[in-house]
Chain A
Amino acid sequence: MSDRLRPLLVVAAALVLVLGVVPAVLGALDRSYLYQVANLALIFVLLAASMHLVTGVAGLLQLGHAAFYGIGAYTAALLATEAGLTFGWTLPLSGLSAAFVAVLVALPTMRLVSIYFAVATLGIGQMIYLVMLNWVPVTKGPNGILVTSGLELFGYDLSASAPAYFVVAIITLVSLWVIHRLSHSYYGNALRALREDDQCADAMGLDTVRLKIESFAVSGFFAGIAGALWAHTAGYISPADFAFPQSILILAMVVVGGLGSLPGAVIGALILILLPEVLRPVGDFRNIIVGGVLFFSILLMPKGIIGEVSALDLVRRQLGGAWRGEGTKAGPEVGWR
C-alpha cells in the first residue's frame, strides 16, 4: 500500500510546489528577476534530466551537452527571427534539429568507450561552439541574437512573466515524465545494462550501438527543447551561453545529484542554480563553488545525493565476493517501481 502511495504523494507534492506554491510566491513578490531565475532553474532541470538519460542511465560520459542546448536555442532563435515562426513551431523543430545533430554525432562516436567517448563529445561540442561563434553571417557571432518574438502558443500571447513561467514549468514537467517513463522501463533497464557492462549486454543480445544512438538522440531532443525555452524566455542568446563551462555545469548537476537517478539530477540542478543565487554576495566565487561542489561530491559522496551507481560500488562488484559481506548491498535495485 504505502509502496504504491509514496511515489504518488511525492509527485503530487512536486506538482503542487511547481504549479502552486512557487508561482504564488513569485506572484506575491512580483519581481521579473525572480521569474527569470525560476525559468533558468527549470530549464537546467530539463538539461540535467536529459543528460541523466545518457550519462546516468546509459553510462556514457558526455562532455559536450551544452552544444545540443545551443543548437536548440539557435534553431529557435533563427526560426523566430528569420522565418517568423511562432513558439508552437520553433519548440518541436529545435528539439528535432538537436536530435538530428545528436544522431549525426552519435553514429561515428558510439563505438568508443569511456574517456574516448568523453573526449570525442568534448571535441564535437567545441566544434559546434566554434561554428556558433565564428559563422557570423548566420549566427551573428559573438554578438548573439535578440529574440523579439515571445511565447506565443495557439494564438495566445504568453510572454508576460507568470504565463511564461507556467509554459516553461509544464513543458519541463511533461519532459521529466517522459524521461522518467523511459528510464524506468525495460528500455531503461537495457540502458542500465549498457552502463554496467556493455560487452556483456551485447552478448545478451542487446543492440548496444542502436540503444546508445537512441538514448543520445532522445537526450539531444530534450536539450534542444531546453534551448528553445531559453531562447524564448531570455530573449537573447550568445555563444557564451553554450560553451564548455555550461557542459561541465550540467555534468556537475548530474554527478552531485547522483548518477542514474532522475530526482537526483533534478535536485542537483536546483542546488547548482539556486545556490549561487542565494550566495549572491560572493558572486565572483560562483564557479569556484561549482567546482568545489563537484570535487567534494565525487570525493565524499561517490553516489551523489540519491544516486544508484557509485564509482566504488562498481569497483567492489568487480572484486567479487570478498567485499560482499560488509553489510552494503552489492548491486542497485532497478526495475519497475
Chain B
Amino acid sequence: MDYYLQQLAIGLSLGMVYALMAIGFTLIFGVLNVVNFAHGEVYTIGAFAGLVVITAFAPPLFVVLLIVVAVGALAGVGLERIAFKPFRRFSDEASLKSRAMREATLMSSLAVSIIVREAIEIGFGSQFQTVPLDRLLNKPISLGPVTIVSGDVIIFVVAALMLGGLQYVLKRTNVGLSIRAVSSNPLGAKYVGINTDRTIIWTFAVGSMMGAAAGILVGLYYGAIFPSMGFIPGIKAFVAMVMGGLSSIPGAVICALILGFSESIATIFVPSVWADMVAYGFLIVTLIFFPRGIFGGARDRV
C-alpha cells in the first residue's frame, strides 16, 4: 500500500512537470494555431541554464529559478523571431487558416529544435552532466507512512504557484486579456486594435518560462541533464494537450496529471523502460476515439 502511495506522489510531481510543459504548448497553439516542436528544447535550455548558474555562482534555488525563467522567456522570444515570425508574412484570414503555413512552421520549429539540440551537444557533450550532489532535490521527507523526497514537494509548490500566476496573468492583466482575445479570434483581435505581434511574443515568453522552469526542476530532481532530455517530455506534454482538447488550459493540466499518474502506476506492473508506451498509447487512443480531446469544445476537423 505504502509503495502505491509513494508511486502516486511521484506521479503527481511527474504530472505537474508535464502540466507546466503542456501549458506552453496550449498557449502557443491557442494563439497561433500551430504546434511548437521546439518546446522541448526550451525545457533543455532551462535545465542547462540552471546548471550553468549553479556551477558558476551557487545561488539559492529560488534565485536559480528566477534566472532560469528569465532565460526561458528570452529563448521563447528568440524562437518565435527565428522559427515563426518569418512565416507570418501574410496576416490575412486565408493564410492564418492555411494548412500549408501550419506545416511550414511545424517543420521550421523542428529544424530549429535540431539545431539547438546539436549546438548544446557540441557545447556540453552528449553525456549526462554532473549536477552538484548537494543541489539534488532528493532529501527524504517522511509523511506518515509514505516517504517522499523534497523534490516532489518543491515541484508541486513551484508548479502550483506558476499555474496560479498564469491564471492571474490571463484573467487580470492586459497582456492576458490580449492573449485570450488573439486565441479566440486573431483577426477580430487585430481589428479592435490589439497588437497581435506583441501578443504572440508575450505568449511565447510566458509559455517558455513554464517550460524552462520544468526543465531545471526535473534536472535537479533526477540529476539527469543532457542535450536530448527535452524530446520525451515534449511529446508527453503534447499528448496532454491533445487529450485536453488543444486550447483548454484546465483540460491540459488535468490530462497531464492523469498521464503522470498512469505512468508512475504503470511502472509498478511493467519495467520502467516500457512506461513511455503509456503516453503514446494515450495519444493514439485519444486521436482515434476522442479527436476533440476529452475536455475540448468544438474544433475544426482533425
Residues of A within 8 A of B (CB): 61, 108-109, 112-116, 118-120, 122-124, 126-127, 130, 133-134, 244-245, 248, 251-252, 255, 284-285, 287-288, 290-292, 294-295, 298-299, 302, 310-312, 314-315, 318-319
Contact = CB atoms under 8 A, between A and B. Distances in A.
B114 A315 contact: no
B283 A314 contact: no
B277 A318 contact: no
B242 A311 contact: no
A244 B103 contact: no
A288 B115 contact: yes
The 6 closest A-B pairs by CB, nearest first: A291-B114, A295-B111, A314-B100, A291-B115, A294-B111, A311-B100
Contacts of B94: 315, 318-319
20 contacts: A114-B99, A114-B103, A115-B35, A116-B302, A126-B276, A134-B273, A245-B114, A248-B114, A251-B107, A255-B107, A288-B119, A291-B115, A294-B107, A298-B107, A298-B108, A299-B86, A311-B100, A311-B103, A315-B101, A319-B92
Contacts of A318: 94-95, 98
Contact of A115 (B83, B87, B103, B118): B103
Contacts of A130: 273-274, 276-277, 280
Chain B interface size range: 35 or more
A288 B287 CA distance: 32
Interface in B256-294: 271, 273-274, 276-277, 280-281, 283-284, 287-288, 291
A115 B246 CA distance: 12
Contact of A123 (B111, B119, B284): B284
Nearest to B96: A315
Nearest to A294: B111
Interface of B: 34-35, 83, 86-87, 90, 92, 94-95, 98-104, 106-108, 110-115, 118-119, 122, 231, 235, 238-239, 242, 271, 273-274, 276-277, 280-281, 283-284, 287-288, 291, 301-302
B122 A285 contact: yes
A315 B103 contact: no
B302 A124 contact: no
Contacts of B301: 113
A288 B113 CA distance: 10
B277 A299 contact: no
B291 A116 contact: yes
Contacts of B284: 108-109, 120, 123-124, 127
A116 B245 CA distance: 12
B218 to A, nearest CB: 19
Contact of B114 (A112, A119, A290, A302): A290
A292 B100 contact: no
Given A127-B281, A134-B271, 17 more contacts: A108-B288, A112-B302, A118-B106, A123-B280, A126-B235, A291-B115, A292-B111, A294-B114, A298-B111, A311-B87, A311-B100, A311-B103, A314-B98, A315-B95, A315-B98, A318-B98, A319-B92
Contacts of B242: 116, 119
Contacts of B287: 109, 112, 116, 119-120
Nearest to A108: B288
A84 to B, nearest CB: 30
Given A116-B302, A319-B92, A298 B104 contact: yes
B302 A311 contact: no
A119 B238 contact: yes
Contacts of A295: 83, 108, 111-112, 115
A134 B287 CA distance: 25
Interface centre among B104, B239, B242 (most CB of A within 10 A): B104
A218 B7 CA distance: 44
B86 A123 contact: no
Nearest to A302: B104
Contacts of B98: 311, 314-315, 318
Given A134-B273, A290-B114, A295-B111, A315 B283 contact: no
B242 to A, nearest CB: 7
A265 to B, nearest CB: 15
A115 B284 CA distance: 13
A314 B103 CA distance: 12
B91 to A, nearest CB: 11
Nearest to B29: A115
B280 A127 contact: yes
B61 to A, nearest CB: 33
Contacts of A115: 34-35, 102-103, 106
Contacts of B239: 123
A61 B103 CA distance: 8
